[in-house]
């Protein structure tokens, strides 16, 4: 661990875990613009200019027609919960119980699975509207979740 690494990233100094947060710079990741957009509080993905398919997660090659002519497109501002679960035990490091995980549908026909943060589990319902939340992560990275609107 380097001296400038945030201590809150160390779950337990005696346990080695893989870094769960993707590398997010141009020299490390070919869809790094996705993370640049998150830093602007924009949720984006790629759309194929050849066939119009919207991919999730963002891709450099269309998985429908194999074209590499991709463009960035923004998601709608909100999505709606398709299904959810509330976890009471076995919570991943960095989260507290109860933890709400939801499948979220967007008007662009993309479904995303995500943890809901800053959310009262008693208020979560199928069809509820959720919006993007971007949080800072160690080493100048970001992570994204959703929260009830
Ligand atoms: Zn395509």
| DSSP code per residue over the chain | --TTS-GGG-S-TTS-----SPP-STTT-TTHHHHHHHHTT--EEEEETTT-PEESS--SS-TTT----EEEEEPPSEEEEEEEEEE-SSPPTT--SSEEEEEEE-TTS-EEEEEE-S--GGG--TT-EEEEEEEEETTTEEEEEEEE-
Q: 128 CA to middle of ligand 1, Å?
A: 31
15 pLDDT above the threshold of 90: no
Identify the sign of the CA torsion 109, 40, 143, 127.
negative
Tell me whether the omega of the peptide bond preceding residue 25 falls within 30 degrees of 0, making it cis. Answer: no
- The reported pTM is 0.86
pLDDT band for position 3 (50/70/90)? very low
Task: Phi first, then psi: give them for residue 132, nearest 5 degrees.
Answer: -65, 140
Q: What is the pLDDT of residue 94?
A: 81
Q: 27 CA to middle of ligand 1, Å?
A: 25
Q: 47 CA to middle of ligand 1, Å?
A: 8
Q: 69 CA to middle of ligand 1, Å?
A: 8
What average pLDDT score do residues 27-36 get? 96
77 pLDDT above the threshold of 80: yes
State pLDDT tens for residues 103-139.
999 999 999 999 999 999 999 999 999 999 999 998 8
Q: 45 CA to middle of ligand 1, Å?
A: 14
Q: 6 CA to middle of ligand 1, Å?
A: 41
Total residues found in the chain within this entry: 149
Q: What is the pLDDT of residue 16?
A: 66
pLDDT band for position 66 (50/70/90)? very high
The structure tokens listed for 2 are 């380097």
What percent of the chain is modeled with pLDDT above 90?
82
What average pLDDT score do residues 71-75 get? 98
pLDDT band for position 12 (50/70/90)? low
1 pLDDT above the threshold of 60: no
Q: What is the pLDDT of residue 92?
A: 85
Q: 80 CA to middle of ligand 1, Å?
A: 26
**Angle, CA 77 vertex, CA 75 and CA 31 arms, to 5°:** 30
């Amino acid at each position: 661990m380097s001296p400038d690494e945030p201590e809150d990233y160390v779950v337990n100094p005696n346990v080695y875990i893989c870094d769960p947060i993707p590398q997010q710079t141009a020299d490390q990741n070919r869809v790094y613009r996705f993370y640049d957009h998150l830093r602007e509080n924009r949720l984006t993905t790629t759309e194929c200019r050849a066939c119009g398919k919207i991919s999730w997660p963002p891709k450099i090659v269309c998985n429908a027609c194999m074209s590499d002519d991709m463009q960035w497109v923004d998601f709608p501002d909100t999505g709606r919960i398709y299904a959810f679960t509330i976890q009471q035990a076995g919570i991943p490091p960095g989260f507290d119980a109860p933890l709400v995980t939801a499948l979220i549908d967007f008007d662009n026909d993309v479904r995303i699975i995500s943890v809901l943060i800053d959310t009262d589990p008693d208020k979560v319902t199928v069809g509820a509207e959720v919006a993007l939340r971007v949080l800072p992560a160690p080493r100048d990275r970001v992570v994204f979740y959703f929260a009830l609107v």
